[in-house]
A and B are shown apart, each in its own frame.
Chain A
Amino acid sequence: MILTVMIIVGICFVIGVFLGFASIKFKTQSDPIVEKIDKILPQTQCGQCGYPGCKPYAQAIADGSADINQCPPGGDDGIHKLADLMGVDYKPLNDEHGITKEKAVAIIDEDTCIGCTLCIQACPVDAILGAAKQMHTVIEKECTGCELCLPPCPVDCIIMEPVGETAESWKWKYPVTSIKQVR
């Protein structure tokens, strides 16, 4: 009887030592969770989630102080990916933070612009070119569609224009087959 107990304890000890050794020797270097979350977020830097940018929101999700369904530009797809990563259940987008809109870019009406630089200071990715008393213009390629430049403009000369689908950006759709389902 004693022998049995001793053998079992001995085996457990050996396995424990091996596991400890393996956890140190074979440890893999992986990104911290904040980087992984940030990689999923769309980098619009719009602040609709309630945090000043995507990195702080990623930090908050990692800390547990924010929920995963606060990012409208990321859409449903983004929430699913976050749910998979964090190991929590999917939940639909929280409407209080906004709705998912079509991708759009900001356009400044050059006739109305007064050159006040307020929008330049607001843009989180420095996508507006200009200087005081000089014409301002949005660099279309860099604009993320975050709409942060719209409120500061004193003459309301910025509009959001949807990008739309061109033959180059067109995607094949998921095949909708004549499903055998009869509902």
Chain B
Amino acid sequence: MNIFNKLSFHGGIKPQGNKNISTKNPIKKIFIPDMLILPLRQSVGKAPKLIVSEGDYVLKGQQLAKPSSNLSVGIHAPTSGYIKRIAMHPVPHPSMLNEECIFLEPDHKDQWIKKKVIDYKNLKLEEVLEQLRQNGLVGMGGATFPTHIKASSKIETLIVNAAECEPFITCDDMALREKTEEFLTGVDIAMHILGAKKAIIGIEDNKQEAITELQKKNQNSKIEIKIIPTVYPSGDEKRLLFLVSGLKIKKMDRPSNHGFQIFNVGTLISIARLFIHGEPVISRVVTFTGNLKQPNNFEALIGTPIKYFLNDCGIKEGDHQIIMGGPMMGFELQNSEITVTKSMNCVLIKRNETQSKDTSIMPCIRCSRCVEVCPAELQPQELYWFSKSKQFEKTLDYKLFDCIECGCCSYVCPSNIPLVSYYRYAKSEIRSEEISGERADIARDRNEFRLFRLDREKTERAERNAQRRAQIPDAEKKKLIEEKKAAIDMALKDKEEI
């Protein structure tokens, strides 16, 4: 904080928000499509293990896959129906590759399994966390980190990430306006699980309606609403922590080490739905915006193909691209058959502009605009020079992994250099080198052990032979040697005759 006591972190940009185009109407209700396609892997960590097979009939909320490790959460049926097949299908990932998905054909009866309220106040912490894990709770801000791991540390202050700093995205804003009580209940429950003494909701000042609703409906004196200035990327975990508490921590450090934990609005609403209604994660609010006739927010079932929503909003004419996420950090989706996942907070339709502006990429002129806007206070132009020339050790010296890939540097670069692409490439290369280095080390160790083992067997055999030979008395040895000599002579004579 500077001397004027204004909340700010170094850098950041103020792009056009474009938020009001998707907040004109309330969140549209769920509708059930003809086929739901649920990717198995929708969170950080290992994909869960299937517990249903083709042909099974499942009820709404029934578990379809159970967690396969501690860093894994369950997947549940968004509605009742039949498991049509388990097959590979495109998933929303920048690689545009296919992964294993469950094809669920709804029977449109929407029948729930037997739901029950979970008495979280009287359960032990491990049981509460197991409930979170089995019911598929992950961070709904886009990172999909399993919630049960985040909720396992005891902290002092719970920070709610209601910043939603990226342009165009309004799902958290609308959720706060319409599901305020549920959200506040979720905050309450989370505070109880984490043992927090208070909660601070960090919300940007461009969400006036949400702020008013919160102030009206909040009865809990332990929940404080902190209004932060609208700057991108104030919603980044470490930046938000700094704005709310003044604490600066590095990439490897965790907020929980300092008595804080940060949860997204959507995550807290799903926590409330789980413990109050017994519902696992089966839907989320998604913003559909951009070059559409009527951009809107939808309460979408996980697994719904996005083409249904895009048709409902009406895509404007012309070539377009489908981006998942916001304009600063989103990535392209290959087509509209892709389905909604737990990490999908926004789908942005971008029109293919004709080349009116000169967007050729020029050399870096070291103007250091990127340094001025980097929220992590890095030197983007140095990282660029070293990533470009593949000097990866040097990028580590300049703290490459502290880069949050927010895109502020690429946004301001006057030479149109795609800086973030270079950093992603460098990070990929460093990570894959580490992994292949580890495998090479294991292979080397195994090879060395094998050579050692063969050596050991040889020595053991030689010892045994020596022992055996030592036991035979001399006269027998002489006889054996003469017998062998005679056999060799005969063999040689035979050879001569031939």
Contact = CB atoms under 8 A, between A and B. Distances in A.
**Are A and B in direct contact (Cβ within 8 Å)?**
yes
Interface of A: 38, 41-45, 53-55, 124-127, 142, 144, 165-167, 169-175, 177-180
Contact of B421 (A144, A170, A175): A175
Contact of B97 (A41, A45, A125, A167): A167
Given A125-B443, A172-B428, A179-B361, 10 more contacts: A43-B444, A124-B447, A126-B449, A126-B450, A127-B446, A142-B446, A167-B93, A172-B425, A180-B360, A180-B362
Of A166, A169, A170, A175, most B-chain CB atoms within 10 Å: A175
Given A165-B95, A171-B429, A175-B418, A125 B360 contact: no
Interface string B464-489: 00000000000000000000000000
A45 B443 contact: yes
B440 A172 contact: no
Contacts of B421: 172, 175
A178 B443 contact: no
Contacts of A142: 442-443, 446
A125 B449 CA distance: 8
A144 B443 contact: yes
B436 interface: yes
A125 B424 contact: no
A43 B447 contact: yes
Interface in B336-384: 359-362
Counting from the closest, the 5 A-B pairs by CB-CB distance are A170-B95, A171-B428, A43-B440, A175-B421, A125-B446
A151 B97 CA distance: 35
A45 B91 CA distance: 37
A169 B228 CA distance: 38
A166 B40 CA distance: 14
Contacts of A54: 444, 447
Interface string B425-452: 1011100100010011111101111110
A143 to B, nearest CB: 9
Of B362, B447, B448, most A-chain CB atoms within 10 Å: B447
Contacts of A173: 425
B444 A38 contact: yes
B422 A175 contact: yes
A166 B98 CA distance: 8
B93 A174 contact: no
Nearest to A177: B361
Contacts of A165: 95, 97
B476 to A, nearest CB: 33
A154 to B, nearest CB: 22
A100 to B, nearest CB: 14
A54 B94 CA distance: 36
A177 B415 CA distance: 12
Given A126-B449, A177-B361, A42 B436 contact: yes
A105 to B, nearest CB: 12
Contacts of A174: 425
B312 interface: no
B99 interface: yes
Contacts of B361: 177-180
Contact of B446 (A41, A126, A177, A180): A126
A42 B453 CA distance: 22
B449 to A, nearest CB: 7
Contact of B447 (A45, A169, A178, A180): A45
Contacts of A38: 444
A55 B443 CA distance: 12
Given A126-B450, A142-B442, A144-B443, A167 B424 contact: no
